[in-house]
Structure 1
Amino acid sequence: MKILLIEDEIKLAGYIKLALDQAGYIIDHESDGVLGLQTAMVNQYDLILLDLMLPSQNGLDILTNLRAFDNHVPVMIISALGSTAQVIKSLDAGANDYLKKPFEIEELLARVRVLQRQHTPKNLSKVKVADLEIDLLSRTVKRGDKSISLSNREFLLLEMLMLNPDQVITKVQILDKVWNMSFDPGSNVIEVHLYQVRKKINDGFTHQHIQTVINRGYILKTIN
């Protein structure tokens, strides 16, 4: 699950980022309202955590703009503005949840899990390709009866390949989805992570699911 945090309180943002990272989520952060909206519009996220009082552009305007452009990514407001009127105004503008500051990080994580369950189609909560299976909610991976431990980036990379079996996924697509990076021909970040994923899912098995398509990208093959 990939999350965008738009929060200008640097100390709080660092605390949230650490907690989400430890919980297994991929987290990007913007502290400015305009930059936050731009980042949300040009990248794909599974959830946005949005403060209301931001420099350059307030959170409610960001939310309104997202919905006006048919961007329906789930949005959780996290704000010190806790009046009933403000909560109602935000929910009516398209927010999916509202968490008042200060809050316990455990409650934030619980609400994130709820939104993840609500917005993950039941038929996609588990994805299976041949003997390889991932659970998008529990973020677990199995091959046959063997459990496999992956890092956050490795899981997101495998998820992308498994949601598109027998299709070539380019480096540009991977960098955009997993790292929010433009293509850099000098970077080997994909190769390094793919090496680890392959090593972990292939250990003890004959069939090599992930294959390199020269000059094109990578593919997860369902059969040899």
Structure 2
Amino acid sequence: MPRILIVEDEQKIASFVRQGFSQEGFAVDLASDGIDGLHLATTSEYDLIVLDVMLPGRDGWSVLQEVRKHRPDQPVILLTALDAVSHRVKGLTAGADDYLVKPFAFSELLARVRNVLRRAPARAMEMLRLDDLEMDLLRHKASRGGKPLDLAPQEYRLLEFLLRHLGEVLTRTRLAEQVWGMNFDGDSNVVDVAIRRLRRKIDDASERKLIHTLRGVGYVLEARD
């Protein structure tokens, strides 16, 4: 499942684009300002970023420049209401893979995203591993001890995020934002329920447990002696 980040402060556009990509089989994260967008872009893995130019907190130009410092090969498409040739040239010169002017049809954005993804280099990291737990990103499969794991889409994304942050204590808030793209509600148990289900599939049949709880803090994926 391709994973895409939308950095857009206009709520109607963001919701419209998110719904469209979700229906096309993409996993979608949203950020409504440049600061949050840059944080997600540099701390999470995305197949492509759709980045608005005019953003609160930090504009798209500076976000793009910073992303390029950390991840030179990250595919990025710029969105803007600025239609001047000089602005399009500036965007492409700054390192954008494509540039789309508002207003736009979703079908055109989707076509441009697919075109950029076809040109993008394959991710260097194809396998994620911990102990006898393996995740094959290219084949979208996971296994433990050589036995396939039957994971629902959200469980797969949750496990991938845990594997990409081995040994890190991940709070419920961070998991809710990164995996579900939602603001965490302290009364919600969606994260805890998902962790329990994932733990049953990964740990219940194995003597060596990999998912650990830090009571009152969050969860960590690691192989402990």
Q: Where in structure 2 are the equivalents of 1:98-113 lying within 5 Å?
A: 98=99, 101-102=104-105, 103=108, 105-112=110-117
1:186 aligns to what SS in structure 2? coil
Question: Percentage identity across aligned positions?
Answer: 25
C-alpha deviation, 1:15, in angstroms: 5.4
C-alpha deviation, 1:126, in angstroms: 1.3
State the alpha-carbon separation in 1 of the partners of residues 86 and 175 from structure 2: 42
TM-score in terms of structure 2 length: 0.67
C-alpha deviation, 1:91, in angstroms: 0.9
Match of 1:65 in 2: 62
State the alpha-carbon separation in 2 of the partners of residues 167 and 8 from structure 1: 33
State the alpha-carbon separation in 1 of the partners of residues 217 and 87 from structure 2: 50
Spell out, residue by residue over 1:48-86, the C-alpha distance to the aligned partner (whole angstroms, 9 max, x if none): 31356xxxx379x93223246x34364212568788765
Match of 2:213 in 1: 212
Match of 2:29 in 1: 27
Check the 8 A contact 2:61/2:91 in 1, yes or no.
no
In the comparison of the two structures, how many residue pairs are matched?
A: 207
Check the 8 A contact 2:29/2:178 in 1, yes or no.
no
State the alpha-carbon separation in 2 of the partners of residues 223 and 202 from structure 1: 13
State the alpha-carbon separation in 1 of the partners of residues 9 and 114 from structure 2: 16
State the alpha-carbon separation in 1 of the partners of residues 11 and 215 from structure 2: 45
State the alpha-carbon separation in 1 of the partners of residues 198 and 178 from structure 2: 17
5+ long unaligned stretches in structure 1: 31-35
Q: Where in structure 2 are the equivalents of 1:107-122 lying within 5 Å?
A: 107-112=112-117, 114-115=119-120, 117=121, 120=123, 122=124
1:39 matched to 2:36? The reply is yes
Check the 8 A contact 2:126/2:138 in 1, yes or no.
yes
Match of 2:151 in 1: 149
Match of 1:197 in 2: 198
1:48 matched to 2:45? The reply is no
State the alpha-carbon separation in 1 of the partners of residues 114 and 200 from structure 2: 31
Distance 1:207 1:20, change over 3 A: farther
C-alpha deviation, 1:99, in angstroms: 5.3
Code of the aligned partner of 1:66: V
Check the 8 A contact 1:150/1:197 in 2, yes or no.
no
- For the aligned residue pairs, the C-alpha RMSD in angstroms reads 3.9
Distance 1:133 1:86, change over 3 A: same
Distance 1:80 1:40, change over 3 A: closer
State the alpha-carbon separation in 1 of the partners of residues 11 and 219 from structure 2: 40
1:98 aligns to what SS in structure 2? strand
Match of 2:92 in 1: 91
Match of 2:187 in 1: 186
Match of 2:5 in 1: 3
TM-score in terms of structure 1 length: 0.67
State the alpha-carbon separation in 2 of the partners of residues 86 and 107 from structure 1: 18
State the alpha-carbon separation in 1 of the partners of residues 109 and 39 from structure 2: 31
Match of 1:33 in 2: none
